[in-house]
Structure 1
Amino acid sequence: MTPRTGALSDVRVVDLTQMLAGPFCTMVLADLGADVVKVEPLSGDMVRELGPFASDDTMWAFGGYFQSVNRNKRSIALDLKSPAGREAFLSLIDSAHVVVENYRSGVMDRLGLGYEMLAERNPALVYAAIRGFGDERTGASPYREWPAFDVVAQAVGGLVGINGRPGQPTKAGPGVGDLFPAVLAAVGILAALRDAERTGRGQFLDVAMADAVLALCERIVYQHSYTGAVPAPEGNGHPMLSPFDIFPCVDGWVAIAAHRDHFWARLCGLVGRPELASHPDYATNAARVQHRDAVATLITDWASARTRDEVVEVLGGQVPCGPVHDAESLTHDAHFAARDMLVRLAQPGSSQELAVVGSPIKLAGTPVDTFRRAPLLGEDADDLLLEAGYDEARIAALRSGGALAPRPV
């Protein structure tokens, strides 16, 4: 095994997660240096089959979805329903600091591998769960048995109800119902690890996807409790800020957020209307909110006569603004190149190296500067079991007994 670097290089994470939320959480930890051991069922994480696949891929071992959230991990595939598979799994727990799973409530307990069972074996273990509606250990929701995916979490947590245009509630494009819970779970894991360092005792923690989305939508709660209002979809604007919106250009769109009065004054000068900076209908944010349609018309008339690049050239660095990128145009943005936010990884079965998103967490002293492609199913099983004290004969017996997946071809 290549020595790991990074802030978490002395942390081992046993990762039982599939799909998006759990794998994204553990990838954040892996990017920061943790040794993340992905324990998959014999058939593999179901995302392996979802693609998209490279045009010249001859293996179809995994596609872009799996690669994007499973880099920097090692893989072993075990049958946890078999005694031999559970024994092998428990051997990994002995050296683990963290376990992460996103099964439905009770699944791990029925396997005899729930938090209490694992904590008896490894008292310092931090056990994290990401579920749609949480775990009864921290708060027994009446929905705790319900399965959930991103769109459900976005709906229940309040995001769909305020997103989109008036009368058309819309889910957010990216899977924020998975991704934000994942990031919060990573934060919780780091806090629990710090506590375990002090006390020698681990703990159970969980993040409910619906809870995380509600936290993301924190504005709607105080708006309602303070004013009685029920926020609804408002398009790209903001109910309390103006201008704060997306505006059309000749060849695209730009975001402009000049709601603070000094930015508004600067914007007025840049678009050739300096007299509006002190006009009583526009001089303050409160006034501009009352006259938001007139403000939007003013900016739209100016921006729609120019290209996106021309608008950004005039406003960039003067008032908060930015181009509305699509997947193609952002690959040419100098910002993302300078920040190493597009990382190319080898793709098994393909001659290409293909791009995934890099890590947005930039540590100056322990930088995230190397990436390993996502693993083939069970690619690291032998190394992991040898590290856990198995010899080659026991590993062969595990395979012949069907508790361990065959070596990948």
Structure 2
Amino acid sequence: MGALSSLRVLDLTQVLAGPYCTMLLADMGADVVKIERPGGDLIRPNPPFLDDPEAEAYGGYFQSVNRGKRSLELDLGDADDREAFLSLVERADVVVENYRAGTMEKFDLDYETLRERNPELIYSSIRGFGDPRTGETDRQGQPSFDLVAQALGGVMEITGHPDGPPTKVGPGIGDLFTATLNCIGILAAVYHRERTGEGQYVDTAMYDAMLSLTERAIYQHSYTGEPPTRRGNSHPTLFPYDAFETADGYVVIAAFGTNHWRALCEAMDRPDLAADYPDPESRLGNRTHLRAEIADWARSRATDEICSLLEGRVPAAPVQNTADIFDDPHVRDREMLVPVDQPGADGSVEIAGNPIKMTETPPRPRGRAPLLDEHRDELLGSATEAETDATEAADD
């Protein structure tokens, strides 16, 4: 039993932001029904594959963010399929979609229409620029992807090295962070409905989410009047807080607290630095000189040696690649790599686990991603049975 085991979610989303949001709900036990357009989610055929793409039902991208869901293929422009969808809406708790603003209106399946069929429904949308219901702007209706959101929201301007171009963050945070915030909004709406019986519209925009994520840049601009820009791996107000090249890789060191600074200087056998720069202000004011001193020390030592010298005294860690992550016992102990079946291949694959840990109702991936339309009979069959039961009750 998951914490959300009584929640039924109709998921009309595709690609990344929406599916990640509903994946979080599925991991926590919600029954997530993935309503797919004819041909399925656009990302189903995206690589990587284990073997022959022709023999596989979907690639790793789809598997990772659609695990534990049920699939139903519907053409919302078809009258019968539209009615099938509405029959599911009547028994659903949440509908989630990530179309452009106005798309659901074209199918006559907007929030207001669905609310007539289910007054307690929670309707949630993820869009690049939000929905007019929560604040109308001239950008709504424009397409957006992670790269666009990171660019507009200020993330790219503060990411990268000072002498390099604006750089996107590696993971698709424009999608993932927006999805996480949307999931929080849905859960808040569910809690509100439990207390009041009232459904509502939940709207999360990618542009808005990136502004929230760049909170440091926003307040810095407000306080100083200057737009922050790229600083590499360093921090604008804390030092040392940076990545340093080692003899065999890179290590990050975060020793901005005076106790950490003293421990770092001791490990470097440089008591003079601890004495000459005893407070955060002096260290920050002389960061160029001090960074060079730390860089010289780190460059001649192996990453493991540095981490051993600093372990337990200074926040430090190696910069790991995914091979290192797969070998890390901590990751296994925390169940952050989870095996799931891969249709069309001989064997299972591993995907990222759920970082939310709960003692009584632990979230976890609840099986592989679905095949397209895999659950049609059980979903529409149950809808037909519910309609028959309702008719019989009325006749009685």
TM over 0.5: yes
Structure 2 counterpart SS, 1:143: coil
**Which of 319, 327, 350 lines up with 2:314 in the alignment?**
319
Structure 2: distance between partners of 1:351 and 1:61:
13
Structure 2: distance between partners of 1:58 and 1:177:
31
| Correspondence 1:86-101 to 2 at 5 A | 86-101=82-97
**Which of 48, 54, 58 lines up with 1:52 in the alignment?**
48
Determine if the alignment matches structure 1 residue 296 to structure 2 residue 291.
Answer: yes
Q: Structure 1 stretch 159-168 or stretch 80-89: which is displaced more? A: 159-168
Evaluate the alpha carbon distance shift between residue 210 and residue 370 of structure 1 in structure 2; reply closer, same or farther with a 3 A threshold.
closer
Structure 1 counterpart SS, 2:183: helix
Structure 2 counterpart SS, 1:299: helix
* Residue in 2 that maps onto 1:378: 373
**Which of 189, 197, 200 lines up with 1:200 in the alignment?**
197
Per-residue CA shift, 1:51-80, capped at 9, x if unaligned? Answer: 211125652211000001000111000111
Determine if the alignment matches structure 1 residue 209 to structure 2 residue 206.
Answer: yes
Q: Structure 1 stretch 146-155 or stretch 311-320: which is displaced more? A: 311-320
Structure 2: distance between partners of 1:288 and 1:334:
36
Contact in 2 for aligned 1:57/1:348 (Cα 8 Å)? no
| Correspondence 1:342-357 to 2 at 5 A | 342-357=337-352
Contact in 2 for aligned 1:40/1:77 (Cα 8 Å)? yes
RMSD: 1.3
Amino acid at match of 1:367: P
Contact in 1 for aligned 2:353/2:364 (Cα 8 Å)? no
Contact in 1 for aligned 2:16/2:175 (Cα 8 Å)? yes
Per-residue CA shift, 1:276-332, capped at 9, x if unaligned? Answer: 2231xx222222111111221122122211211221122122111111111111111
* Residue in 1 that maps onto 2:362: 367
Structure 1: distance between partners of 2:39 and 2:213:
35
| Correspondence 1:3-402 to 2 at 5 A | 5-55=1-51, 59-167=55-163, 168-279=165-276, 282-369=277-364, 371-389=366-384
Q: Across the two proteins, how many residue pairs are aligned to each other?
A: 385
Structure 1: distance between partners of 2:234 and 2:349:
35
Structure 1: distance between partners of 2:105 and 2:249:
52
Contact in 2 for aligned 1:99/1:128 (Cα 8 Å)? yes
Contact in 2 for aligned 1:98/1:126 (Cα 8 Å)? yes
Contact in 2 for aligned 1:149/1:178 (Cα 8 Å)? yes
Structure 2 counterpart SS, 1:165: coil
Structure 1: distance between partners of 2:92 and 2:356:
24
Structure 1: distance between partners of 2:240 and 2:141:
44
Structure 2: distance between partners of 1:32 and 1:314:
40
Structure 1 counterpart SS, 2:360: coil
Per-residue CA shift, 1:105-142, capped at 9, x if unaligned? Answer: 00001101111111111111111100000000000121
Evaluate the alpha carbon distance shift between residue 125 and residue 85 of structure 1 in structure 2; reply closer, same or farther with a 3 A threshold.
same
Shift of 1:390: 5.0
Per-residue CA shift, 1:209-256, capped at 9, x if unaligned? Answer: 010001000111111111112100111101111001111111111111
Shift of 1:149: 0.3
Per-residue CA shift, 1:89-112, capped at 9, x if unaligned? Answer: 111111111110000000001101
Shift of 1:369: 4.4
Contact in 2 for aligned 1:270/1:315 (Cα 8 Å)? yes
Structure 2 counterpart SS, 1:76: strand
Per-residue CA shift, 1:147-175, capped at 9, x if unaligned? Answer: 00000000101101111011421111110
Shift of 1:22: 0.3
Per-residue CA shift, 1:332-372, capped at 9, x if unaligned? Answer: 11221111111111100101211111001101111124530
Contact in 2 for aligned 1:57/1:350 (Cα 8 Å)? no
Structure 2: distance between partners of 1:222 and 1:231:
10
Q: Structure 1 stretch 17-26 or stretch 162-171: which is displaced more? A: 162-171
Structure 2: distance between partners of 1:56 and 1:193:
43
Amino acid at match of 1:118: L
Q: Give the percent of matched residue pairs that are identical in Structure 1 and Structure 2.
A: 52
Gaps of 5+ in 1: 392-409
Q: Structure 1 stretch 12-21 or stretch 268-277: which is displaced more? A: 268-277
Contact in 1 for aligned 2:26/2:366 (Cα 8 Å)? no
Structure 2: distance between partners of 1:295 and 1:378:
60
